[in-house]
Amino acid sequence: MSAASAPIVDIRHVSKSFGSLKALNNVSMSMSLGEKVVIIGPSGSGKSTLLRSINKLETVDSGTIIVDGFDINAPTTNINSLRMELGMVFQSFNLFPHKTVLENLTLAPIKLKGMSKAEADEIALKLLDKVGIKEKAHAYPAQLSGGQQQRVAIARALAMSPKIMLFDEPTSALDPEMIGEVLDVMVTLAKEGMTMAVVTHEMGFAREVADRVVFMDHGAIIEEGTPEHFFVNPEHDRTKLFLSQIL
Amino acid sequence: MSDTRIIDVGEGAAIPSKSDWGLFNAWTISIIGALAAILYLVIAQPNPYQRLLVYLADGVVITFQVTVMSILCACVIGLITGLGRVSRNKAINLLASTYVEIIRGIPLLVQLFYIYYALGRFLNVHDLTAAIIAMSVCYGAYMGEVFRAGITAIDKGQTEAARSLGFNTKQTMFLVILPQAWRTILPPVGNEFIALLKDTSLVSILAVSDLLRRGREFSSETFLYFETYTMVALIYLVITLILSKGVSIMEARLSHYVRR
Amino acid sequence: MKRLFKSLLLVATCAVLALGVAGCGEKKEEKKAEAPAAAAPAAPKTIVFASDAAYPPMQYMNDQKEIVGFEVDVIKAVAEKAGFKAEFKNVAWDGIFAGLANGKYDAISSSVSITDERKATMDFSDPIMAIEQILVVGINEKATDLAGLKGKSIGAQIGTTSYFVVKDVKGFKAIKTYDEVGLAMEDLVKGSIQAVVADSPVAVDYTTKKYADKIKIASVLKSDKVENIGIAVKKGNKEVLDLVNKGLAAIKADGTFDKIKEQHKMK
């Protein structure tokens, strides 16, 4: 564990409601640089909302979220430049269908970082090589399989050289035979030391990669700990129940 | 478009669709028929058809001018209105919505009269300009609704993906949403273009010398009503068919990234 | 809610249909009444005249939505003398001749100038009166003839002899045709065009009444032929033509025509 440094993400007493539904109920959690946190829990437990509130795709009702030293809800914070440091991977890939794979990767670096096309292309091709689909660089997203699309989505997020990667159920929309190829890319990324927050149902991945597993239910964190603690010796009944259902 | 017949057959080997019936499709039959009819009439009965065609020529130019200018202006107004309609700024949203409500509630013919004769009392607008303004203002509202529908039809995930990369609202709209929205917008916008072209015939009431007015002038002088309106109808048909072909070519180009 | 709407729709449709049927019925009754009446010598025949009632002072709509005017009064007097009933129908000028050819009405009373071209497709009564073509310009315009207006825009009502006078004259910026002469005058007042050509009674009316302070008569456009207005009927409709001519001759002979002219202050 590399918990020695100051937290890069610090979530304090955050609450959020959708109408009468309390999605987050006074949640606090922090992450340090290089740490890999896997958030699990039944659907509707608020885990995706928590993840999405880190880059302000959801605005919280109360509490503070500090990312890399900036309070994301402070009026002085430029959320757009902060988001450049937060790569996000979605369940439904959300690739830009009107752009080629390569253009999906280079659009943001060129437009937001002022990178030259040549430089952006070079970086993009390296990343595509890394996720194993360099040969599809000039294809359109619709021509790729789900697994391939998700790997492109990961590469797209990486193209901005983020400090943190957020994964929102990255394999939930995939056919079973494609889950492995995406998890492999994520494992590689983890081994390289990327700071990662992952919402997933893939317990194997959690076991292998996580520094810390967070279990959420009904908008609150019930239990958190190392995978060893979590999978071998969970404390709470609700955790036990959830694990018994999913494993 | 959830095509089960999408099979990866490689480049070029397209599965025949309805539009690939060679010459036997509605468009080809109509255009060839219309052109053949015009040609036949002009050759077989040079008097009056040749005289008529010459007389109508500058009217065709005016109709074309009004159509093209109005389409351009209406697209700009429509885009602004559409963006206003999806804006989270309440004042802008209200303004755009009110504009759409008012314009959609007034017949185009009345708008034409109003802009030309009522407003003309205060600002002297040239007849052609008045016609283009009225057509643009009216169709801008219609197209605003088309744009709005096109924009809201784009999956929310696209906005989220763009925002999560660090794009601001404007960049997201212009780099990610609108380029995609064009594809869904184009067919209905194409229909509006064609409706607009046909509605330009209304501007003849402003004494604009368009195709219809030229036809009316000719017929009211020669009493050749049948001949005149046959020719006028054929010419409108040809222009409309050409425009609709242009729209479908544009549609085909924009859909290149979607497997069909 | 939907059902309520549907039933409302049904009621509305029925009402419309009922009105339509009632309307048709009335007409039929009229015609039935007509037929035996025509046989009886005393009962008057009805002749329907089409008028473009946007042509003051010749024929126009008054506040009571009735077609009135000089020519209307003439026809009414003619009808009285010739023993028929005159009915007027407001028809847009553009297409008024097509309606006559299609038998939508019996005659046109709309200040129709008698020309050789028109005589080829329809028959005319004896002349009612002679008119001239007048050049109307803005109050500050210096030009007094067509030549002086070169490079400017000129307007006239579509399909009228006023338009035919200028349509082949070269050198204008634009020659515009209007559905109604009033719209041409409106554009002249606005400044969209610099001159209008119109029949003399109309030109006098506009320059002395409605827009007396804004437009004026520049000149009379000289012609080598006298231009007469008359009643147009479908080619070969001798019955109507004879009735009209009979009445016209009568009112001209007994001074009624001059009296009507005086009433309308026509010279």
pLDDT one-digit tens code per residue, C223-262:
888 999 999 999 999 999 999 999 999 999 999 999 999 9
**Rg of chain C over all Cα atoms, to the nearest angstrom:** 22
Which chain C residues are Cβ-neighbours of B54 within 8 angstroms?
none
Predicted pLDDT of residue C15: 52
State whether C98 and B225 contact (CB < 8 Å).
yes
pLDDT higher than 70, residue B2: no
Please tell me the distance from the alpha carbon of residue C155 to that of residue C176, in angstroms, as a whole number. 5
Hey, what are B124's tokens? Answer: 């002297």
**pLDDT tens-digit readout, A191-227:** 999 999 999 999 999 999 999 999 999 999 999 999 9
Q: What type of residue is B87? A: S
> For residue A69, what are its two tokens?
């030293």
d(CA C267, CA C256): 15
What CA–CA distances, in Å, run from B83 to B89, B103, B150, B167?
A: 11, 17, 11, 17
Q: Which residues of B touch A127 (CB under 8 A)?
A: none
Query: Within an 8 Å CB–CB cutoff, is residue A156 touching chain B?
Result: yes
Strands A70-71 and A62-67: antiparallel
Distance from CA of B41 to the nearest CA of C (A): 22
DSSP string, C197-223: EEEHHHHHHHHHTTTTTTEEEEEEEP-
What does pLDDT average to over chain C? 86
- DSSP designation for B247: H
pLDDT at A113 over 70: yes
Average pLDDT value for chain B: 86
- Predicted confidence at residue C26, as pLDDT, reads 44
**pLDDT tens for each residue of C29-54:** 444 444 444 444 556 789 999 999 99
Residues 6+ apart with CB under 8 A from C190: B120, B121, B124
Written as six digits, the tokens of C111 are: 């200040």
Distance CA A117, CA A124 (A): 10
Q: What residues of B are in contact with residue A96 (Cβ under 8 Å)?
A: 158, 161-162, 176, 180
- Residue that has been written with the tokens 């046989």 in this structure: C39
CA distance A140 to A133: 12
Measure CB to CB from residue A88 to each of B164, B180, B183 and give the nearest one.
B164
Per-residue pLDDT, averaged over B94-114, amounts to 92
The closest CB to that of B165, out of A97, A99, A160, belongs to: A160
Between the CA atoms of B84, B88, B92 and B98, what dihedral angle is there, to the nearest 10 degrees?
70
Identify the band that residue A87 occupies on the pLDDT scale cut at 50, 70 and 90: very high
Q: What does the block give as tokens for C171?
A: 């050198």
Q: Is residue B189 predicted with pLDDT exceeding 50?
A: yes
CATH of domain C133-221: 3.40.190.10
Identify the helix (H) or strand (E) that includes residue A118. Answer: helix A117-131
pLDDT at C44: 76
Yes or no, beta carbons of A92 and B157 under 8 Å apart: yes
C94 and B127 in contact by Cβ < 8 A? no
pLDDT at B196: 94
**Could you give the CA distance from residue B220 to residue C17 in angstroms, rounded to a whole number?**
35
Task: Enumerate the CATH 3.40.190.10 domain ranges in chain C, comma separated.
Answer: 46-130+228-263, 133-221
What CATH number should be reported for the domain whose range is C46-130+228-263? 3.40.190.10
**Residue from A77, A81, A94 whose CB has the most chain B CBs within 10 Å, to mutate:** A94
**Mean per-residue pLDDT of chain A:** 93
Confidence of residue B223 (pLDDT cuts 50, 70, 90): confident
pLDDT of residue B127: 80
Whether this prediction's pTM lies above 0.90 is answered by: no
For A15, phi then psi, to 5°, come to -130, 150
pLDDT digits (tens, 9 = 90+) for B43-63: 999 888 999 999 999 999 999
SS3 A12: strand
Tell me the CA distances in angstroms from C166 to B217, C133, C215, one per residue in order: 13, 10, 19
More confident: A6 or C97 = C97
Q: What number is the average pLDDT over the span C57-78?
A: 93
- Nearest beta carbon to residue A94 from set B158, B166, B183: B158
C69: left (phi over 0), alpha (psi -120 to 50) or beta: left
Q: Which of B2, B159, B164 to mutate to test the interface with A (most CBs of A within 10 A)?
A: B164
Q: Model ipTM?
A: 0.92
Chain A neighbors of B258, CB-CB under 8 A: 97, 140, 142
Report how far residue A134's alpha carbon sits from residue A110's, in angstroms, rounded to the nearest whole number. Answer: 19
- Tell me which residues of chain C have a C-beta less than 8 Å from any C-beta of chain B: 93-95, 97-98, 101, 117, 121, 155, 158-159, 163-164, 167, 174, 176-179, 183-184, 186-187, 190-192
Least confident of A41-50, A199-208, B123-132: B123-132
Q: Is the pLDDT of residue B4 over 70?
A: no
How far is Cα C257 from Cα B36, in angstroms, rounded to an integer? 56
Selection from C138, C131, C81, C154 nearest residue C266 by Cα: C131
For chain B, list the domains and their CATH numbers.
35-257 (1.10.3720.10)
The residues on B that touch A, with CB distances below 8 Å, are 155, 157-158, 160-168, 171, 175-176, 179-180, 183, 257-259
> What is the percent of chain A with per-residue pLDDT over 70, rounded to a whole number?
98
Q: Checking DSSP bridges between strand A21-32 and strand A7-18, what pairing results, if any?
A: antiparallel
For the ranges A181-190, A208-217, B6-15, the lowest mean pLDDT is seen at: B6-15
Mean pLDDT of C197-213: 93
Long-range Cβ pairs for the range C260-267 (8 Å, 24+): C260/C70, C260/C73, C260/C74, C260/C77, C261/C70, C263/C73, C264/C57, C264/C69, C264/C70, C264/C73, C266/C57, C266/C70, C266/C201
Strand A62-67 to strand A7-18: parallel, antiparallel, or no bridges (unpaired)? antiparallel
Packing angle, helices B46-86 and B211-222, rounded to 10: 150
- Residue C34, pLDDT score: 44
Interface present between A and C (3 or more CB pairs within 8 Å): no
Name, in order, each residue with C-beta under 8 angstroms of C222's C-beta and a sequence gap of 6 or more.
none
- Per-residue pLDDT, averaged over A52-69, amounts to 94
Amino acid at C128: I
